[in-house]
């Protein structure tokens, strides 16, 4: 993967195109942010008039090869729009005929050949291995870094699923730059009411109702909460520790955490400072209130004076990690000053850190405990792909591994007994949010495959709640998942989270068992601590993808593509993971030698 393609190198690349069509293919990736498969889909009918600025036009990006369904719109420079129109006229293209009427594979070859020519002409100033993916990265970098375009607009134009994809281009800002950005956007001193329609008790969402007050004034008011997490105070109960430290601030009279399910189940106060839990229960916080909206919606909610009798303002923010919300962190002002924009942002960030701390604490407890709580869940929900596939194919499916590809997607490695790859492919085609089937091995009694799953899965949900999944199988449309939780852990929030994803999920059994010394050996614990998340993902994907088999079931390029990373990036993570594994083996061996 090319790390950076500056403006001069990009211009030289376009100039090296041997044909009009090649130049168009390069520019559609580099200036419109199109993916390889999208370049052959766009036609003259998809080019639309100028947008809000005269130098920008809009290009509709089709979702499939028919060109009928539109996935999104992207902005293109007026110069590129004019070039596309001239090209269509010179080639006599009809409204529905694609500008680049070749296969995606041919598009890759066009870009590769153009890059090689540009590298030869420039003496290596232009990388010879530029790909359409690199051109999309250059598109994002130019807009975010060089032109300062709103990241939300860049994400939508390029069709990226999350902001995380763009993080590498969004460097840190100092205080002056942040203040200038707020001022330019009109975010400073705008005022506004704290309340609004659409939430319980007249409370408004903090995203849609900017509170009055100077966002840049005064000292940070949530610093104590961050310090509690950073200092490691009472790590076993951060849901109680953080409110205590927040209430020490002169700004907040009360701080507490409410934990409850999103399906109307039991709600409880798990930590409180500045007010007794019994008083909060008497006020009705476990029955209703905007803090419950914060748990359900996953967004901050201004409390607009609730639940205090004197109407002091406050805010409730979700304590979340990825798709899991552990509860809502609530604070109440010590006086009548509304919650400022800066305070809201500060507390939202604290809520995220608190959510991560709860999950991380469960993982830590699970790693070091001598006994675990073994839980077994069952679901037959059609939204669970394993249930859908086992029912449709009449087979038994075992989950070998799950690798997180993005914040929104996972790759599942499956062994299907009694099913052929084509049958699995048919189920994948009909399933929502499931795609990119990869056949790893075909056997007489079944096959091994991997699929990409967008959104949640039973395994991912349990993992994000701090559980370790030991076994997951599906047969006759019913999924059985066995997982370990720390000894004495509260199973209810985990079950609630699973039911939020799959309506009929139920807890089939719960048992305290001694940890197996073999499965949790000191060797495994020591080595696991050496891996980063990406190194572990690369090693797991390579192993379950058959990369280490002989002959190999998957090439490095195929595994990298399945993980949605470049081949060099995959090799980098895999080599470092292998080194960590061997270090653990040989360093331990050396220590134990006499």
DSSP string, 310-363: T---EEEEEEEETTEEEEEEEEEESSSPPPPHHHHHHHHHHHHHHHHHHHHHHH
Asked whether residue 251 is domain-assigned, the answer is yes
Q: Structural domain of residue 31, as residue ranges?
A: 7-168
Q: Identify the domain boundary among 497, 515, 533.
A: 515
pTM for the predicted model, two decimal places: 0.43
Regarding whether 440 and 510 lie in a shared domain, the answer is yes
**Is the pLDDT at 105 greater than 60, yes or no?**
yes
Residue 81 and residue 60 in contact, taking contact as beta carbons nearer than 8 Å = no
Q: How far is CA 359 from CA 137, 313, 423, 461, 489, in A?
A: 33, 30, 38, 12, 12
pLDDT at 260 over 60: yes
Q: Which two tokens stand for residue 162?
A: 């999350």
- Residue 399, judged by CB atoms within 10 A of its CB (0-12, 13-18, 19+), counts as buried
3-state SS class at 195: strand
pLDDT of 38 > 60? The answer is yes
Is 304 domain-assigned?
yes
Percent above pLDDT 70 for the chain: 78
| CB atoms closer than 10 angstroms to residue 525 | 12
β-pairing, 478-486 vs 468-475, is: antiparallel
Strand 371-379, strand 478-486: pairing: antiparallel
Q: Is residue 405 located within the same domain as residue 511?
A: yes
In a domain, 335, yes or no: yes
pLDDT over threshold 70, residue 593 = no
Of all residues in the chain, the percent with pLDDT exceeding 90 is 17
Burial of 49: CB neighbours in 10 Å, binned 0-12, 13-18, 19+: exposed
Same domain, 158 and 224: no
Question: Do 55 and 104 lie in a common domain?
Answer: yes
Lookup: tokens for 499: 């039911």
Sheet arrangement for strand 56-62: 47-50, 56-62, 70-77
pLDDT of residue 528: 63
Average pLDDT of 150-161?
85
CB 483 within 8 A of CB 467: yes
Task: Tell me, yes or no, whether 271 lies in a domain.
Answer: yes
Of 117, 147, 168, which residue sits at a domain end? 168
Q: For 550-564, b where at least 16 C-beta lie within 10 A, e where not — what string?
A: eeebbebebbbbbbe
d(CA 348, CA 335): 21
**Mean pLDDT across the stretch 565-576?**
88
Residue 347 sits in the same domain as residue 437: no
Q: Is residue 256 part of a domain?
A: yes
What order of strands is seen across the sheet that includes strand 468-475? 434-443, 446-454, 409-417, 396-404, 468-475, 478-486, 371-379, 506-514
Domain count within the chain: 4
Give the model confidence (pLDDT) of 287-319 as tens digits: 777 677 777 767 777 776 555 556 788 888 888
The CA distance from 529 to 526, in Å, is 6
């Amino acid at each position: 993967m090319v790390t950076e393609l500056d403006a001069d190198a990009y211009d030289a690349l376009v100039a090296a195109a041997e044909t009009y069509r090649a130049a168009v293919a390069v520019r559609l990736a580099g200036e419109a942010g199109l993916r390889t498969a999208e370049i052959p889909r766009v036609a003259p009918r998809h080019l639309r008039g100028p947008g809000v600025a005269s130098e920008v036009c809009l290009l509709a990006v089709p979702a499939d090869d028919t060109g009928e369904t539109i996935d999104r719109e992207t902005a293109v420079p007026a110069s590129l729009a004019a070039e596309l129109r001239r090209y269509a006229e010179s080639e006599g293209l009809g409204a529905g005929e694609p500008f680049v009427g070749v296969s995606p594979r041919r598009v890759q070859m066009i870009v590769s050949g153009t890059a090689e020519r540009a590298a030869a002409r420039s003496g290596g100033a232009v990388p010879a291995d530029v790909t359409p993916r690199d051109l999309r990265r250059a598109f994002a970098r130019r807009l975010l870094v060089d032109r300062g375009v709103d990241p939300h607009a860049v994400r939508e134009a390029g069709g990226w699923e999350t902001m995380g994809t763009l993080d590498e281009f969004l460097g840190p800002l100092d205080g002056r730059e942040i203040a200038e950005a707020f001022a330019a956007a009109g975010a400073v001193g705008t005022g506004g009411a704290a309340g609004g329609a659409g939430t319980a008790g007249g409370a408004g969402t903090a995203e849609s109702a900017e509170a009055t007050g100077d966002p840049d004034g005064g000292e940070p008011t949530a610093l104590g909460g961050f310090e509690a997490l950073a200092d490691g105070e009472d790590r076993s109960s951060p849901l109680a520790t953080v409110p205590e430290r927040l209430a020490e601030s002169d700004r907040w009279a009360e701080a507490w955490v409410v934990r409850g399910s999103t399906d109307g189940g039991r709600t409880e106060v798990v930590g409180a400072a500045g007010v007794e839990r019994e008083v909060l229960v008497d006020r009705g916080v476990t029955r209703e209130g905007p803090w419950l909206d914060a748990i359900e919606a996953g967004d901050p909610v201004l409390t607009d004076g609730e639940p205090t009798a004197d109407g002091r303002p406050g805010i409730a923010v979700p304590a979340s990690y990825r798709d899991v919300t552990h509860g809502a962190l609530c604070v109440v002002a010590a006086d009548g000053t509304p919650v400022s924009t800066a305070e809201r942002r500060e507390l939202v960030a604290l809520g995220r850190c608190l959510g991560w701390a709860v999950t991380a604490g469960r993982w830590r407890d699970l790693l070091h405990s001598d006994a675990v709580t073994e839980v077994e869940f069952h679901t037959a929900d059609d939204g669970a792909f394993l249930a859908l596939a086992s029912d449709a194919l009449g087979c038994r499916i075992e989950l070998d591994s799950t690798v997180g590809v993005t914040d929104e997607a996972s790759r599942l490695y499956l062994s299907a007994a009694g099913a052929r790859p084509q049958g699995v492919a048919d189920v994948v085609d009909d399933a929502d949010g499931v795609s990119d089937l990869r056949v790893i091995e075909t056997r007489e009694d079944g096959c091994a495959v991997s699929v990409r799953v967008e959104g949640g899965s039973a395994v991912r949900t349990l993992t994000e709640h701090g559980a370790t999944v030991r076994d997951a199988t599906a047969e006759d449309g019913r999924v059985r998942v066995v997982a370990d939780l720390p000894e004495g852990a509260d199973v209810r929030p985990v079950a609630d989270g699973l039911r939020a994803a799959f309506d009929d999920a139920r807890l089939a059994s719960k048992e305290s068992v001694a940890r197996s010394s073999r499965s949790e050996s000191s060797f495994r614990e020591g080595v696991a601590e050496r891996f980063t998340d990406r190194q572990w993902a690369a090693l797991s994907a390579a192993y379950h993808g058959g990369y280490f088999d002989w002959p190999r079931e998957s090439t490095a390029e195929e595994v990298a593509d399945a993980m949605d990373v470049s081949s060099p990036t995959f090799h980098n993570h895999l080599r470092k993971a292998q080194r960590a594994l061997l270090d653990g083996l040989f360093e331990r061996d050396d220590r134990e030698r006499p």
